[in-house]
Chains A and B, each alone.
Chain A
């Protein structure tokens, strides 16, 4: 079943073509790495999928429908920036999420927070950037969504926590859901990827199974990424 479909999707910011003719299909049950340099269009694509931007041309379909209230019920999205109210506690933020999302699993969130040594009574503003990112990721992964979209979830966290995050993704991920993870820290995550989507200058230059690429190029996705983008 196709969970996400992008058809001839383009986005222009004024004269700047941020995304051009993107055609993409993501079936359910896949972990997809959205890889690309800074400014290649990763976040633009993600924002279009989440209805935070309007396409210049083309369309996005989630579960066969245009993005909207329904799609927000099944898409769990981790933006690149935190959007929490700074002056409330983690506990209060959990309550918001529980109110907002029918599929939010409070018990799971509490357990994950505990595992990561995060204090529910602490206010967001009193937390470091890395801690805030962890809280956000916990909240996003605690929804029982069909499609998870994580925009640069690893940037601000230490390597030990990265491993924990990958474990969290693998443990909590149900087989019918799909997950799109955008990052440039490829070597840390590439072993959990099913598919790789490589985006450069607003275009998809490669969309292939990770192991097919390793077989073909006889090297890691990270090395392929470096090589492909040098030639581009």
Chain B
């Protein structure tokens, strides 16, 4: 899961990896991303590929460019949650399809929208450090 594979577009894999970090809270709202070069080196891919992946995330609104300061995760938590929801849905669908292919009938529970309280935890990470721990 964490390694880049050769059989699908590398830039999408990098984008997915970063998005997962954003959804999982590893890269919190407003956090600065590593530089293109750093990401390229740690993933052992071409800087142009990383650039393209970041472009993808920017189009989705998950990250923003701040002039010369680099790229940051959006502070729009609701948007992050919405994208997270969409992503989770895609994962569920692909899981369902794979299970169907092997002949297993399953019904996945729908992923629940976040409660106000959960949103509150996410939007005020400093105040809620303790609660974030159990949340993620």
Contacts and interface: CB of A to CB of B under 8 A. Distances in A.
Q: Do A and B come from one complex?
A: yes
Interface in A154-180: 163, 166-167, 170-171, 175
Contacts of A194: 46, 48-49
B10 interface: yes
Contacts of B49: 194, 211
A137 interface: no
A215 interface: yes
A157 to B, nearest CB: 16
B99 interface: no
Interface string A123-166: 00000000000000000000000000000000000000001001
A222 B11 contact: no
Contact of B41 (A171, A193, A223): A171
Interface residues of B, number: 18
B18 to A, nearest CB: 16
Contact of B6 (A29, A163, A170, A220): A220
A175 B46 CA distance: 10
A111 interface: no
Given A170-B40, A171-B41, A30 B7 contact: no
Interface in B36-87: 40-41, 44-49, 52
Contacts, number: 54
A192 interface: yes
A65 B122 CA distance: 58
B10 A211 contact: yes
A175 B37 CA distance: 10
B6 A211 contact: no
A166 B4 CA distance: 15
B9 interface: yes
B8 interface: yes
Interface in A184-219: 187, 190-194, 210-211, 214-215, 218-219
Contacts of B9: 211, 214-215
B7 A218 contact: yes
A170, A190, A221 — which one has the most chain B CB atoms within 10 A of its CB?
A: A170
A31 interface: yes
Interface in B17-49: 40-41, 44-49
Contacts of B41: 167, 170-171
A224 B44 CA distance: 21
Interface of B: 4-12, 40-41, 44-49, 52
> Lowest 5 A-B CB distances belong to which pairs?
A220-B6, A211-B9, A220-B7, A214-B9, A219-B7
Interface of A: 29-31, 163, 166-167, 170-171, 175, 187, 190-194, 210-211, 214-215, 218-223
Given A170-B46, A219-B7, 4 more contacts: A31-B46, A170-B47, A191-B4, A193-B46
8 contacts: A166-B44, A167-B44, A170-B47, A190-B6, A191-B10, A211-B10, A214-B9, A221-B6
